[in-house]
Amino acid sequence: MSETVEREVGRARARKEDAHLITGQTNWTDNIAVNGLLHLAILRSPMAHARIDRVDVSAALERPGVIAAFSGRDVAEAMGSLPCAWPVAEGTVMPDHPPIAVDEVRYAGDPVAVVVARDRYAAADALEAVEVDYTPLPTVLEIESALDENAPLVHSDKGTNRCYDYRTTDGDYAAAKARADVVLTRRYHQQRLIPSAMEPRAVVVTPLAASGEFTLYSSTQIPHVLRVLLAVTTGIPENKIRVVAPDVGGGFGSKLQVYGEEVIALVLAKRLGRPLKWTESRSEANLATHHGRSQVQDIEIAARRDGTVLGLKVSLLADMGAYLMLLSPGIPILGASMYPAIYKMGAYEFSCTGVFTNRTPIDAYRGAGRPEATFAIERIMDDLAAELGMDAIDLRRHNWIRHEEFPYTTIAGMTYDSGNYEAATDKALALFDYDKLRAEQADRIDHADTVRLGIGVSTYTEMCGLAPSRWLGEMRYAAGGWEAASIRVLPTGKVEVITGTSPHGQGHVTSWSQIAADVLGVPFEDVEVMHGDTLLAPHGMDTYGSRSLVVGGVAVHEAARKVVDKARKVAAHLLEANEADLDFADGAFSVKGSPEARKTIQEVAFATFASHDLPDGMEPSINADHVLDPETFSFPHGTHLCAVEVDTETGAVHVRSYVCVDDVGKVVNPLIVEGQLHGGIAQGIAQALYEEAVYDEEGNLLTGTLADYLVPAAPDLPEFLTDRTETPATSNPLGVKGVGEAGTIASTPAVVNAVVDALRPFGVRDIRMPCTPERIWQALQPGKEASA
């Protein structure tokens, strides 16, 4: 009898990915060096809105080492317009978006000319010699004034700054409001954020001019989607383009994009017949890599005196920035289903208006629409608790979907398959020592302590696993939401997993190895995972939206099951037994009742390779592909609790403790899950306390570097105490729910709720994010309004 192999799924495996990353044997796009490589540099608009009267690159061409230089007009015909794949509403205004501006620049950072030179220094020097004449145009910078009657137009040919109106309702909100004892109305501001992946973007294109073939390396999350859209945008046939995402240094949505620089590099490599590299500086990244959030949220909640929520009304103004990027219109709509969150209610109204402004385009940033939704509902639930004099936890408990009520279809039409809010919350409260902290808070109030304690609650859920293709179709998204996996068992018994997901820090190589090793019964070490190259992994939808495990990981699981099914036929033939009489365990088929008659999957793989003795008519392969289209979303959830100390004399906030209990369903690798939560919580805290893209009144970005834009460092963050409950998803065979964005979604409202909780005795009911010492201090000055 064989020993039972320890199951891989659930093990805290240290990552396979690490070896090359900790030794510097990396393959970042900017590392790529090929013979004759030229360097591209981009001149960007210093103005937020201006007419381009003249671009003269002739002096730049005279500079030593300069090979070529182009204005937008020089290359406009070869480049097309950058794509937007998500016109969420009928009549969505879709402005033309040339990769290099031709007639007008519409945000500070809009490209106006490019230079190609022998090295990066020569290219940067030559930019200074490009002459551009601008006529300044009036700007519209604020979301709230974009629709004013006399507002300047970002796209004058469209006649409006209104991009779209989207609306969805269920139940009769007006009636719910009429029946309510309490109606709270709030306006929250989701500040504009700069994603700040540590690796700035980079693109390398190597052309094979004679045959018109191109390899494009890019620091991207989406090599497959990018390939399709590069073909559509440039007219170069899709089957002549290979896209590679080498090592990618973080993305957080910012590399879920088809960027102008990718199109520019491809078109110019074609035109010049030479390999080209473009590498973004950080200052350039802050201007030119898309930003996130930037919404004004009006939210109204109607409730009975006992705390029962009757209805919710949400009205958003969502900043698109100057142009529509790949998913810009759809980002706030991803949140539309999530405002009701974990709560039962009878009526829901949601509307969103997208507006153009003269600022960097907005698109996906960690969580993409869902953090905004969770923030607003969790903030107003805390406010409602305060209004009703209820404990914040008790109010949530009174309204949430009870464990025995799953599966449950929310008022927003989402069917949550499973969850246990009670268990996660009870565990979190115990870890946090909630009652003791509440006692300390009361004590500090009694003693008029200058340092106050605030306790913030966030009981979130998330919609993971983007996405059922039919749903995407109904939402007017241009593509599907499936994911592909292939598994090859090699003649020597080693296994190759090919995934269409494209990791950039999430640890897919390790997790997918664990999944495949379990199904196939092979050692974890024997599995290699290939990804991020359209030649190696031709079929995929890439990595974003907490989709990789729930869609791509499950696809690996299903492909592995197909391999076992095929291998079973071969094993039955070799063992001269019926398939039905075979057991498969620990990587070997054995005949029921006579376990000595066995064939390992490796032996079957070799026998299939040799193909000397296969069942009649059988295709000589046990390899398998699977393309999985999810039937539904998954809904991880959890309870995050935050205690802050607020110094009422300085406004300084110190996060004293942070506890979270997350339920992400079945866990493949607890080490990776915990890591995802840590990083996510950090980004959420960063939004609550530190980060904001700030512009001056002329539309210049003031937070243009990491000296001004405050990505938190280690001393700015607390130790997180994380724990889990496990309520498996019922919608996929692994029971997994996804974890990529949970921390970010949950932590921002937990922290702001804690800050506001500390300040409530002073009459403060909101602090606009980021909750800086200055804003808090201002809010505490007698006679001043809280900066809501």
Partner 1 sequence: MTHISLKVDGTTYEDDVEPRLLLIHYLRDRLGLTGTPIGCDTSNCGSCTVDLDGESVKSCSLLAVQADGGEITTVQGLAQDGELSELQKAFHARHALQCGYCTPGMIMAARDLLREHPHPTPDEVRHGLEGNLCRCTGYQNIVRAVLDVSEEEVKA
Residue 697 token pair: 């009144």
At its nearest, how many Å lie between partner 1 and the CB of residue 720?
A: 6
- Residue 507 or 630: the one with the smaller Cβ distance to partner 1 is 507
- Residue 254 or 486: the one with the smaller Cβ distance to partner 1 is 254
Contact of 756 with 764, CB cutoff 8 Å: yes
Would you count residue 511 as binding partner 1 (CB under 8 A)?
Answer: no
Q: CA 469, CA 202: separation in Å to the nearest integer?
A: 31
Would you count residue 603 as binding partner 1 (CB under 8 A)?
Answer: no
Would you count residue 200 as binding partner 1 (CB under 8 A)?
Answer: yes
Would you count residue 5 as binding partner 1 (CB under 8 A)?
Answer: no
The candidate with the shortest Cα–Cα distance to 537, out of 482, 486, 466, is 486
Which one among 218, 289, 374, 683 touches partner 1, defined by CB under 8 A?
Answer: 683
Would you count residue 35 as binding partner 1 (CB under 8 A)?
Answer: no
3-state helix, strand, coil in the chain (%, to 5): 35, 25, 40
Contact of 40 with 116, CB cutoff 8 Å: yes
629 vs 186, 467, 482, 484, 498, CA distance in Å?
39, 8, 4, 9, 17
Contacting partner 1 within 620-679 (CB under 8 A): 671-672, 674-676, 678-679
Radius of gyration of the chain (CA): 28
Give the residue carrying structure tokens 């110094």: 647
Would you count residue 64 as binding partner 1 (CB under 8 A)?
Answer: no
Per-residue exposure over 302-312, b if at least 16 CB sit within 10 Å of its own CB, e if not: bbeeebbbbbb
| Backbone phi and psi for residue 707, each to the nearest 5 degrees, phi listed first | -80, -25
- Residue 511 or 648: the one with the smaller Cβ distance to partner 1 is 511
Would you count residue 33 as binding partner 1 (CB under 8 A)?
Answer: yes
Would you count residue 545 as binding partner 1 (CB under 8 A)?
Answer: no
At its nearest, how many Å lie between partner 1 and the CB of residue 643?
A: 17
Q: Considering only 51-59, 487-495, 709-717, 780-788, which stretch makes contact with partner 1 by CB under 8 A?
A: 709-717
Q: CA 560, CA 513: separation in Å to the nearest integer?
A: 11
Residue 172 token pair: 């009769």
Would you count residue 258 as binding partner 1 (CB under 8 A)?
Answer: no
Read off the amino acid at residue 276. Answer: L
Which one among 117, 681, 746, 758 touches partner 1, defined by CB under 8 A?
Answer: 681
Contact of 326 with 253, CB cutoff 8 Å: no
Residue 47 token pair: 């103005």
Would you count residue 702 as binding partner 1 (CB under 8 A)?
Answer: no
Would you count residue 706 as binding partner 1 (CB under 8 A)?
Answer: yes
* Phi-psi category of residue 269: left, alpha or beta, with phi > 0 → left and psi -120 to 50 → alpha: alpha
Contact of 291 with 328, CB cutoff 8 Å: no
Q: Considering only 384-392, 502-510, 611-619, 622-630, which stretch makes contact with partner 1 by CB under 8 A?
A: 502-510
The candidate with the shortest Cα–Cα distance to 263, out of 430, 123, 72, is 72
Residue 148 burial by Cβ neighbours in a 10 Å radius (0-12, 13-18, 19+): exposed
Which one among 713, 781, 782, 783 touches partner 1, defined by CB under 8 A?
Answer: 713
Quick count: other Cβ atoms within 10 Å of Cβ 189?
18
- Residue 37 or 437: the one with the smaller Cβ distance to partner 1 is 37
- Residue 239 or 705: the one with the smaller Cβ distance to partner 1 is 705
At its nearest, how many Å lie between partner 1 and the CB of residue 31?
A: 4
Site string for partner 1, 214-253 (x = CB under 8 A): ---------------------------------xxxx-x-
Q: Considering only 109-117, 231-239, 483-491, 701-709, which stretch makes contact with partner 1 by CB under 8 A?
A: 701-709
- Residue 121 or 167: the one with the smaller Cβ distance to partner 1 is 121
At its nearest, how many Å lie between partner 1 and the CB of residue 365?
A: 12
Q: Considering only 17-25, 468-476, 479-487, 608-616, which stretch makes contact with partner 1 by CB under 8 A?
A: 17-25
The crossing angle, in degrees rounded to 10, of helices 508-520 and 554-575 is 30
Q: CA 49, CA 136: separation in Å to the nearest integer?
A: 6
The candidate with the shortest Cα–Cα distance to 620, out of 604, 607, 605, 608, is 608
Q: Considering only 176-184, 384-392, 499-507, 726-734, which stretch makes contact with partner 1 by CB under 8 A?
A: 499-507
Would you count residue 544 as binding partner 1 (CB under 8 A)?
Answer: no
- Residue 162 or 282: the one with the smaller Cβ distance to partner 1 is 282
At its nearest, how many Å lie between partner 1 and the CB of residue 193?
A: 12
- Residue 28 or 606: the one with the smaller Cβ distance to partner 1 is 28
Which one among 5, 17, 182, 581 touches partner 1, defined by CB under 8 A?
Answer: 17
Q: CA 311, CA 308: separation in Å to the nearest integer?
A: 9
Q: Considering only 10-18, 130-138, 264-272, 643-651, which stretch makes contact with partner 1 by CB under 8 A?
A: 10-18
Angle (CA) 392 397 399, round 5°: 100
- Residue 39 or 313: the one with the smaller Cβ distance to partner 1 is 39
Contacting partner 1 within 265-284 (CB under 8 A): 281-283
Which one among 617, 714, 781, 782 touches partner 1, defined by CB under 8 A?
Answer: 714
Would you count residue 617 as binding partner 1 (CB under 8 A)?
Answer: no
Which one among 30, 558, 692, 766 touches partner 1, defined by CB under 8 A?
Answer: 30
Q: Considering only 193-201, 314-322, 449-457, 475-483, which stretch makes contact with partner 1 by CB under 8 A?
A: 193-201
Angle (CA) 477 480 482, round 5°: 145
* Phi-psi category of residue 250: left, alpha or beta, with phi > 0 → left and psi -120 to 50 → alpha: left
Quick count: other Cβ atoms within 10 Å of Cβ 536?
12
Q: Hey, what's the torsion of the CAs at 262, 264, 269, 272, to 10 degrees? A: -170
Contacting partner 1 within 717-756 (CB under 8 A): 717, 719-720, 743
How do 292-303 and 527-530 pair as beta strands?
Answer: unpaired
**Binding residue count for partner 1, defined by CB under 8 A:** 57
Would you count residue 505 as binding partner 1 (CB under 8 A)?
Answer: yes
Which one among 21, 34, 208, 702 touches partner 1, defined by CB under 8 A?
Answer: 21
Q: CA 70, CA 57: separation in Å to the nearest integer?
A: 7
- Residue 195 or 552: the one with the smaller Cβ distance to partner 1 is 195
- Residue 343 or 690: the one with the smaller Cβ distance to partner 1 is 690
At its nearest, how many Å lie between partner 1 and the CB of residue 19?
A: 8
The site for partner 1 (CB under 8 A) is made up of 14-15, 17-19, 21-26, 28, 30-31, 33, 119-121, 196-200, 247-250, 252, 281-283, 504-507, 671-672, 674-676, 678-683, 705-707, 711, 713-715, 717, 719-720, 743
